[in-house]
Structure 1
């Protein structure tokens, strides 16, 4: 690792260099596998977001959320310059606005904050972005950079994880014209928001982009869970 920085109380940024020639970063909001050494001399694998990738310098940036006491969180808390880890050969594709989209509404919890930041940085000027990020600590709110016009709310977790995010979705008013909704959070909450957006708000299915970043009481939940199994 080239650098390790505590961005917020619950977010650690790691910048790594290494054998990254030709590595496919998958675009904004893409995710990939990270492999770190475990205490028992084994390896732990989890899925993370590509926060940034500088192809010219071969520098990969990953933001690790310190949201649990699992093996990856323990590793990230003690990570230091010079530590080594591995990544998958390429990242899975991320998000790009639908053709003709004039706005994007994003719902995310702390785990999906790196994806939100990456997506916003990719949006063009002239777009409107409405962002809701539920954080575990108000101090975890970060600056969001974008050429788009961004309005952001940072509800703090209270009670069930992502309950504040589901409540925000229930009160949101989508802008006029064509646009997208992007959801990244706990699996059950993602489905609640997804059902509301498709049913009550009437968003076309093709304009909805959703993914579970984790699932309550489930270790290493599938990164293929988009909620589409429920319609």
Structure 2
């Protein structure tokens, strides 16, 4: 940021705090600093790949819109927003709960010149998730069994809600329906397999709960914008 020496590299401090991602953005909401945990979680190989980018270039639109709204609130108020409970994909491509803390960054003249924050796994602090615990049962089940056949009726039963209530509540919290969430979870996990293995795409498709390669390719292109084969080639 302008108020700091370009040689400060204070974000390196967060590399010594296990499980903590750090970021800082300017008034244009572009990343100006990030620690290793932050850019590695995005699948990048260096900080340079995220510097100068905004959330819409790094995250799905629903998440980016939520992040932008929180950033705007912090910058406009000059007050921090603490322990925002959010769901992200972890390094294994599986959904997990995180706490986000956001703080305004002030210049030497006292004006707000940006926003910075930390993202950290809730590390088992279930009490902080009380408003979401019913849905957490479904999310945890998806995370542990996404490679298997999962029915929405069964997920709803696990939350103690009717299918209609479950779908409505899930959409309110995550901005998508549980069926789409399940598909995205499978695709995120498949992405890791495509990057790290030479297995046949048809084999990966079946292993991650898709009925065949054609179905997998169709869903993959819908959510990732490219085919699995092209994704593997580019990554």
| Same topology, TM > 0.5 | no
Greater strand proportion? 1
Q: Which has the higher contact order (CA 8 A, sep 6+)?
A: 1
TM-score by length of 2: 0.31
Q: Which has the larger radius of gyration?
A: 2
